């Protein structure tokens, strides 16, 4: 039972994948966003390729927990993705995951240019790992 984690952005989508037992999340790739239809098509390919049974989409809530325009966009994308995949698609609070990813990459002494290449994937890993830990999916 593999789970795919997504960090949606305007230009890029970070992608993470769980191990088969649902214990750990690993970075998989960064997709270049081509619009909702193209993004869904790219994600469908990954779902098929990796035998994914569930998708977790980061929900960018405001710090006070309210939903702004980006959160509504994520909700709509998750709804459309669920219809296209015919799989469960869940939303997961992603507040501060990009900040945390940036902090971890700085601690790893990664240069700014290198961080830009992997930060979306790292944020997707954090979203998915937080989901796995909270949901006790594989335990």
Q: Which CATH superfamily is domain 2-135 in?
A: YqgF/RNase H-like domain (3.30.420.140)
Residues whose CB is less than 8 angstroms from the CB of residue 24 and which lie 6 or more positions away in sequence, other chains included = 18, 129, 132
CA distance 99 to 82: 28
Task: Identify each DSSP E strand in the chain by its residue range.
Answer: 2-8, 12-18, 25-32, 52-59, 89-93
**Of 105 and 92, the one with more pLDDT:** 92
Task: List, for residues 25-76, the tens digit of each pLDDT value.
Answer: 999 999 999 999 999 999 999 999 999 999 999 998 777 778 888 889 999 9
């Amino acid at each position: 039972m593999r789970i795919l984690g997504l960090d949606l952005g305007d230009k890029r989508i970070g992608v993470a994948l769980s191990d088969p037992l649902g214990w750990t999340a690993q970075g998989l790739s960064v997709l270049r966003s081509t619009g909702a239809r193209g993004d869904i098509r790219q994600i469908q390919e990954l779902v098929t390729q990796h035998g994914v049974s569930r998708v977790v989409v980061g929900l960018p809530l405001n710090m006070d927990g309210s939903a702004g325009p980006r959160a509504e966009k994520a909700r709509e994308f998750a709804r459309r993705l669920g219809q296209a995949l015919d799989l469960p698609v869940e939303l997961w609070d992603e507040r501060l995951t990009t900040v945390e990813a940036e902090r971890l990459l700085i601690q790893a002494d990664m240069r700014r240019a290198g961080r830009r290449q992997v930060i979306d994937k790292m944020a997707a890993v954090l979203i998915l790992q937080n989901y796995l830990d909270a949901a006790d999916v594989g335990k």
